[in-house]
Amino acid sequence: MTAQRASGHGINLDPWLSHYADRANGLSASEVRALFAVASRPEVVSLAGGMPFVRALPDELVKGALDRVMRDQGPTALQYGSGQGVPALREQILEIMALEGISGSVDDVVVTTGSQQALDLVTKLFINPGDVILAEAPSYVGAIGVFRSYQADIQHVEMDQYGLVPEALRQAIAYLRGQGKNIKFLYTIPNFHNPGGVTLSAERRPEILQICRENQILVLEDNPYGLLSFDEPVPPALRSMDEEGVIYLGSFSKTFAPGFRVGWALAPHAIREKLVLAAEAAILCPSSFSQLAISEYLNEADWMGQIESFRGVYRERRDTMIASLEEHLPELTWNVPNGGFYVWVGLPADLDSKAMLPRAVTELVAYTPGTAFFADGTGRQNLRLSFCYPTPENIQLGIRRLATVINGERDLLATFAGTGPLTPSTAGDNVIAPPPDMN
């Protein structure tokens, strides 16, 4: 086998191109990924990624947990463990879920390597190529990547300031069924949506469940941000209202630290066994060390107090971002999230978030273009700003720089006015509803 490499010209032809499985076609570098490389330069203010501010987690809390794990349970922590996860941690996970109204059995909790792996396993279990997954418009870029990798047909459903729109869901299901499509599940992020920032209202929750139940559509409820509310707690989880029809996903990434890579699924009892088998096939077992460390942290540390302190940090950053937008970019539209990490911004009709990004990076500010959050590349009139990681001062600086970029872009467009559109519209036809105006 001779590898065809022409690295001198920057070309790297993959000699195995003809060997890839069809599903590998869905694996292409996301915009977020490409951005991380540029945005990690220290001079760039990154409003792009969704990294939690782990510096707000006191070192002693983590060190104490790690030391105790090694002192008291070293050999277990360093060993393989159960494919379903450490029983003590699964009990503690039940207590956490109880905060959002969920009661479940420890038997139905499956610990995973981040909730990202749970997304992967559930998709692997349910999706044949061409099966439909319904997802909010917009939706989490990492979920879109997983769904693509299993060749799902991702269909977006309209969302407004109260979350997923039940009537749009009904219409989407009827339309797709009319086309003979096989709809497997609804993927939804009901609390402090990534990237939309909105929370599904309490009134809509039973209605969404009812629609899915009537149509035999499984619900995949992804809830990594639910405990990070700035004002009042979120409404009860979808899973708390339907044990048989909802797979619930949770994570320690945003309320503790993503470096441990521990998340979980609470599956309907009927599904749990297959989920565990799929997890074992993929990774044998989740990290014993990480699970025991988190279990120890939950036992010994004031973890609720720590979440409260995270809330305070993120609330202040949200306030700073909104105030800066009001001051410097009043011509844009945005929602004011009551928790989580993200503000979803609408641009005036003449601007294109994807085309504008290189200019933004030149001005030393990064954001995620809206196109990352739609399966068909729509979303050019939106962008996502994250307030979780940069300090309030850097948020202010970043928004000032963004204003320079946007004003410069508009001046440029004014110069070329009358010469036709600079960027073609890429609206695809597999979006059920247009992106929401979430101001």
Contact, 43 vs 364, CB < 8 A? yes
Which CB atom, from 126 or from 140, has the smaller least distance to ligand PMP?
140
Which CB atom, from 102 or from 189, has the smaller least distance to ligand PMP?
189
Least distance from ligand PMP to the Cβ atom of residue 146, Å: 10
Residue appearing with tokens 């540029």: 38
Least distance from ligand PMP to the Cβ atom of residue 170, Å: 24
Least distance from ligand PMP to the Cβ atom of residue 72, Å: 27
Which CB atom, from 33 or from 181, has the smaller least distance to ligand PMP?
33
- SS3 at position 290: helix
Q: What is the largest CA-CA distance in the chain?
A: 73
- SS3 at position 327: helix
The Cα 227–Cα 221 span in angstroms is 15
Which CB atom, from 235 or from 340, has the smaller least distance to ligand PMP?
340
Q: What is the dihedral of CA 292, 298, 300, 303, to 10 degrees?
A: 140
The Cα 430–Cα 30 span in angstroms is 19
Least distance from ligand PMP to the Cβ atom of residue 142, Å: 6
- By beta-carbon distance, which residue lies closest to ligand PMP? 114
Comparing CA positions, the residue from 301, 311, 224 lying closest to residue 263 is 224
The Cα 407–Cα 221 span in angstroms is 39
Which CB atom, from 104 or from 114, has the smaller least distance to ligand PMP?
114
Question: One-letter amino acid identity for 171?
Answer: Q
Contact, 209 vs 182, CB < 8 A? no
Comparing CA positions, the residue from 318, 316, 307 lying closest to residue 387 is 318
Least distance from ligand PMP to the Cβ atom of residue 192, Å: 9
Contact, 301 vs 127, CB < 8 A? no
Which CB atom, from 138 or from 263, has the smaller least distance to ligand PMP?
263
Which CB atom, from 140 or from 401, has the smaller least distance to ligand PMP?
140
Least distance from ligand PMP to the Cβ atom of residue 313, Å: 17
Which CB atom, from 189 or from 372, has the smaller least distance to ligand PMP?
189
Query: How would you class 101 by CB atoms within 10 Å of its CB: exposed for 0-12, middle for 13-18, buried for 19 or more?
Result: middle
Which CB atom, from 195 or from 405, has the smaller least distance to ligand PMP?
195
Least distance from ligand PMP to the Cβ atom of residue 199, Å: 13
Least distance from ligand PMP to the Cβ atom of residue 261, Å: 7
Binding site residues, ligand PMP, CB under 6 A: 50, 114-116, 140, 142, 189, 194, 222, 224, 251, 253, 258, 263
The three-point CA angle 138-339-363 to 5° equals 65
Helices and strands counted in the chain (H then E): 12, 16
The Cα 251–Cα 230 span in angstroms is 19
Least distance from ligand PMP to the Cβ atom of residue 258, Å: 5
Question: One-letter amino acid identity for 154?
Answer: I
Beta strands 183-188 and 163-164, pairing class: unpaired
